[in-house]
Amino acid sequence: MQRKKATAVFAAGAAILSLTLAACGGGSGSANTSTSGSASGASSSATGGYPAAAKEITFWGWAPGYDKAVEAFNSSQSAIKVKYEEISPGAKGGYEKMLNSVKANQGTCLAQVGYETLTSFAAQGALEDVSSYAKSSESEFAPGAWNSVKIGEAVYGAPVDQGPMALFYNKKVFEKYGIAVPTTWAEYQAAGKTLKEKSSGKVSLTSSYLNYDFAGFTWQASAPWFGVEGDSWKVSISSDATNKVSAYWDGLVKDGVISKAPMWDQSWYTGLSDGTIATHVGAVWIAGILKGDAKGGSGDWAVAPMPQWNAGDTAVGNVGGSASAVLKGCSDPEAAWTFAHWMSTDKDAFAGLVDSAALYPAATALLDLPALAKEDPYFGGQKIFDVFKDASGKVVTGWTWGPNMPETVKTLDDQLGKTWSGTQTFEEATKATQEKTVSDLKAQGLSVAE
């Protein structure tokens, strides 16, 4: 009897030991990082030695250059002290960290939240309504961007940037093979085939696109994934308009012009650097990614307007763009708004963000910043922001994000992964995502109109 009990205790002990070890060593779990982050935050604020009168707020983000903007703000005044902490990008665990922090009531005030995720944050009750301070600033921002930070009458933060799309292409490679810059999707596909033939398979037209990068294509095609009908969500990830986009990309996969290097992987940066991935259709901030992580391509790249479905059209999609959102539980939402508004509208601060992250301002007064009119040596001296200035006015309206985007895009990415590797079609992928999303939303009690 005693023996048997000891046996069970031993087994349980072994189970417990390894469970706890696994929990500590996990590393990729967001809970770990969030607690350690807050611990270091607490200790540094305790020893910071700032004047007691200053209101202190914490700001979480990942865009390169935010740290410098915070420094500039702190040295420009003494009433508010902003403490910036760089965290993982939202989709790579940053959003979970923020939501966990709100849940744990840690009092983090401001966070970089992409427009696509803002609705999901609001649906978790994770945001603070700052409309009482913010309302008067509405006219300072582009209408599309302002709409992205408000739901109903509530305003949840300051829009920072927008993500109008364009065609990034390796000019040197295009010239080498004598290919004209494509203006339509049909020409784009033809360019891919020519590249493949003339380089005997070495140069790929582009790489695979997941989640929001893929959504940009359906955005351009006026195929919004979500909508609101009365008191219900309308889910339209799979639709006739999406199917047009799907069929097109199926064709490209079949042509074999898509690189096997997944976007954001080291092999992707390498491909962009050495010219084996010839184009990327993406938002303005891709310029910052190219300059930062594909340094070998310096001088080779150029920017052209996004390819169109019909010659002469001018529709543009959007990827990303983010706000400095005020999180629930912030001790001083007014101070948080003050800083957020300052960072989005201050000329010098934003010039820094243009240089370091190629952010395109949401504040209309900043659109004639000198930094946006500079010739960029990385792009062979091209004034690339001219293209985006034109594009930002042509972004298709009517796009709505759903109430649980983190869940939706995880489902979507599982499906798209299979599609890019050629084992199913994009139509099947979007259909499966649609079905799963509807059932997930219903399982949580949300009302969905079909």
Partner 1 sequence: MTTPTLRTSGGARRRATRSAWLFLLPFALLFLLMYLVPLGFAVVQSLFKLQRSGLGLSAPTLTFDPAFNYGRLFGDADFIASLGRVVVFGVVQVPIMLGLALFLALLIDSRSAKLKGFYRLAAFLPYAVPGVISAVMWSFLYSPVTSPLNNALQDAFGFTLPFFSESWVLWSVANIVTWGWTGYNMLIIYSSLQTVPTEVIEADRLDGASSWRIAWSIKIPMVRPALILTTILSIIGSAQLYNEPAVLQPLSGGTITKTFTPLMSAQAQAAAQNYPYAAAQAVVIAVLVGVLSITFFKITNRGDK
Does position 96 interact with partner 1 (CB under 8 A)? The reply is yes
Q: Which of 317, 420, 425, 430 binds partner 1 (CB under 8 A)?
A: 420
Does position 12 interact with partner 1 (CB under 8 A)? The reply is yes
Does position 432 interact with partner 1 (CB under 8 A)? The reply is no
Nearer to partner 1, 11 or 365 (CB): 11
* Contact call for residues 245 and 425 (beta carbons, < 8 A): no
- The helix (H) or strand (E) run that includes residue 60 is strand 55-61
In the β-sheet with 226-229, what is the strand arrangement from edge to edge?
226-229, 232-235, 448-449
Stretch that binds partner 1, among 174-182, 235-243, 263-271, 371-379 (CB under 8 A): 263-271
Stretch that binds partner 1, among 266-274, 283-291, 299-307, 361-369 (CB under 8 A): 266-274
Q: How far is the CB of 149 from partner 1 (least distance, A)?
A: 14
Does position 259 interact with partner 1 (CB under 8 A)? The reply is yes
CA distances from 282 to 8, 106, 206, 286 (A): 58, 36, 11, 6
* Torsion, CA 273, CA 274, CA 278, CA 283, rounded to 10: 0
Nearer to partner 1, 261 or 326 (CB): 261
Does position 444 interact with partner 1 (CB under 8 A)? The reply is yes
Phi then psi for 351, rounded to 5 degrees?
A: -55, -40
Stretch that binds partner 1, among 26-34, 58-66, 238-246, 299-307 (CB under 8 A): 26-34
Taken in order 405, 283, 360, 298, the sign of the CA dihedral is: positive
Interacting residues of 34 by C-beta distance below 8 A, sequence separation 6+: 96, 97, 100, 101, 104
Q: Where are the alpha helices (DSSP H) in 221-332?
A: 240-255, 266-274, 286-293
Nearer to partner 1, 260 or 295 (CB): 260
Three-class secondary structure of residue 297 per DSSP? helix
Q: Which of 51, 152, 178, 398 binds partner 1 (CB under 8 A)?
A: 152
Q: How far is the CB of 109 from partner 1 (least distance, A)?
A: 18
Binding site for partner 1 (CB under 8 A): 7-8, 10-12, 14-16, 18-20, 22, 25-30, 96, 99, 119, 122-126, 151-152, 228, 231-233, 259-262, 264-267, 270-271, 403-404, 406-407, 410-411, 413-421, 423, 440, 443-447
